[in-house]
Amino acid sequence: MSAPAHPSPPPPGTPRKVIAIHAAAPGAATAPGGCSSGSCGSSDGPADLPAHIWEKVKDHPCYSSEAHHHFARMHVAVAPACNIQCNYCNRKYDCANESRPGVVSEKLTPEMAGKKVLAVAAEIPQLSVVGIAGPGDALANPAKTFKTFELIQQTAPDIKLCLSTNGLALPDHVETIKKFNVDHVTITINMVDPEVGQHIYPWVFHNHKRWHGLEAAKILHERQMLGLEMLTQAGILVKVNSVLIPGINDQHLKEVNRVVKAKGAFLHNIMPLISDPAHGTHFGLTGQRGPSAAELKALQDECEGDMKLMRHCRQCRADAVGMLGEDRSQEFTSDKLGDIAATYDPTARQAYRDFVEKERADQRAAEAEQKAGLAGAHEKALVAVATKGGGRINQHFGHASEFQVYEVSAAGAKFVGHRKVEHYCAGGYEIDAAMPSILDALKDCAAVLVARIGHCPMKELKEAGIEPVQDYAHEYIEASALAWFQARLAATRPSGTARVA
């Protein structure tokens, strides 16, 4: 790859019609150089975190939103059994056309999983993390989970290991988790009150008995809290996942956020309920709706204080492979593993990591430069970006299956979420039918930054009040979004002169 170019100044802003720039709430603007919380700044860069924590998260795409531009993860589906039932999960379901947690196409033995990790590492140098996230519960299958970790440590010791659990069996396994140097654990905590929990969990299997209702939720809650405390005491980073279920735990999740933060969780990931009736889950079949993107963001914003909120979760499958938002698992089915694994060469991954280290420093410097130009500005806006990864605006509008959304303000460019859309372009043909849903997905965005865009969608975006921008093709996302915003502010202020320095 060529040396990264800093974004050039945008062309002189021509007067444009009214755009969706929202004035920030009083007091919400960050004072230049100031910071009101432990999670200051727009990115989770090294400046925001203690050095030992940054070292742990910097290459983990799930724990660092910055890392998710550069690094890939894979889940190995060695853990099919589960010890609880959740109303949003159907353990019988398995479909190759589907992408959501709890689903896999092929279950693996630990030996096959070890081989698969090598195969993926050989093909995808961005691979930095292997996680066990089911499709059941990693710790309801402790023998398979830890055997897999052991094998990976033998063959590719530089790969970080992580696991996801509902927490029920967690206190029994903290010692083993330490022993295998698993330094990231995700616990799904949907409630800290069994009264709420009884509407989410019909039963748990614990101490040789199936418990139901309130009793079940009480046991799960106590085990989750104990496990969380034990992990944080052991210095293991904990991410808490919470499924936002409107009408059941939506308001309660603020309390969950407060409690898990107090107990030392590093990151909170509030995810929307997936409740398609076709999945056959209890919530799907009883018509329980999921939250809208706006409801989700509102709750995330409310919960974001001293603790980080994860905004870049793609709710991936238990056998997902690749960068977040992409799934290359079909390239690595068991029949293909042996040949690919044989080509494994760890130096390619090391070279990639060295490259990323430089690239990220450049990106942060470019962002800081643009941020300085916005000092004192009180406006903010949402900007959508088409990207294939690497932290650059490098995707054609029509090829995007999701847009990443950044909030730009004097505080910087902050990643706030992603919007999944249908491809506008398929095999060279434009699909006009996809456009209304894309416009709807981006309706609160002031601009969409792309590598290229055709005339028709450009016109439709403009008519919808969303500015299509190609000026920053192949440049850094954060710096470009801020540069665009500066130009936009300069163009829309009454005198036409920029108040920005």
Residue nearer to other proteins on the CB measure, 23 or 143: 143
Residue nearer to other proteins on the CB measure, 136 or 391: 136
Residue nearer to other proteins on the CB measure, 89 or 411: 89
CB of 140 to other proteins, least distance (A): 7
Q: Are 236 and 184 in contact (CB under 8 A)?
A: yes
Q: Residue 408 and residue 416: Cα distance in Å, rounded? A: 10
The helices-and-strands tally (H runs, E runs) of the chain is 14, 19
CB of 114 to other proteins, least distance (A): 19
**Terminal Cα-to-Cα distance of the chain (whole angstroms):** 33
SS3 letters for 355-399?
HHHHHHHHHHHHHHHHHHCCCCCCEEEEEEECCCCCCECCCEHHH
Residue nearer to other proteins on the CB measure, 165 or 404: 165
- Identify the H or E element spanning 261: helix 252-262
CB of 132 to other proteins, least distance (A): 14
Q: Residue 197 and residue 388: Cα distance in Å, rounded? A: 39
CB of 354 to other proteins, least distance (A): 42
Burial 130-167 (b: 16+ CB within 10 A, else e): bbbbbbbbbbbbbebbbbbbebbeeebeebbbbbbbbb
Residue nearer to other proteins on the CB measure, 13 or 202: 202
CB of 210 to other proteins, least distance (A): 4
**Residue-wise DSSP of 318-367:** TT-EEETT---GGGG-GGGHHHHHTT--HHHHHHHHHHHHHHHHHHHHHH
Residues 6+ apart with CB under 8 A from 208: none
Write out the two tokens for 294. Answer: 């706006």
Residues 6+ apart with CB under 8 A from 165: 137, 138, 139, 185, 186, 187, 188, 227
CB of 413 to other proteins, least distance (A): 43
Residue nearer to other proteins on the CB measure, 73 or 144: 144
- Give strand ranges (E) for 123-221: 127-132, 160-165, 184-188, 203-206, 209-212
CB of 71 to other proteins, least distance (A): 30
3 state SS of 242: strand
Residue nearer to other proteins on the CB measure, 85 or 126: 85
**Residue-wise DSSP of 399-468:** G-SEEEEEEEETTEEEEEEEEE---SEETTEE-GGGHHHHHHHTTT-SEEE-SB--HHHHHHHHHTT-EE
Which residues of this chain interact with other proteins, rule CB under 8 A?
A: 80-83, 85, 91-92, 94, 107, 136, 140-141, 143, 205, 208-210
CB of 182 to other proteins, least distance (A): 21
Q: Are 30 and 154 in contact (CB under 8 A)?
A: no
**Sign of CA pseudo-dihedral 318, 319, 323, 326:** negative
CB of 286 to other proteins, least distance (A): 18
CB of 85 to other proteins, least distance (A): 6
Residue nearer to other proteins on the CB measure, 54 or 205: 205
Residue nearer to other proteins on the CB measure, 78 or 384: 78
Residue nearer to other proteins on the CB measure, 71 or 88: 88
CB of 179 to other proteins, least distance (A): 20
Residue nearer to other proteins on the CB measure, 94 or 471: 94
Write out the two tokens for 87. Answer: 């109303």
Q: Are 59 and 161 in contact (CB under 8 A)?
A: no
CB of 82 to other proteins, least distance (A): 5
Residue nearer to other proteins on the CB measure, 93 or 352: 93
SS3 letters for 162-176?
EEEECCCCHHHHHHH
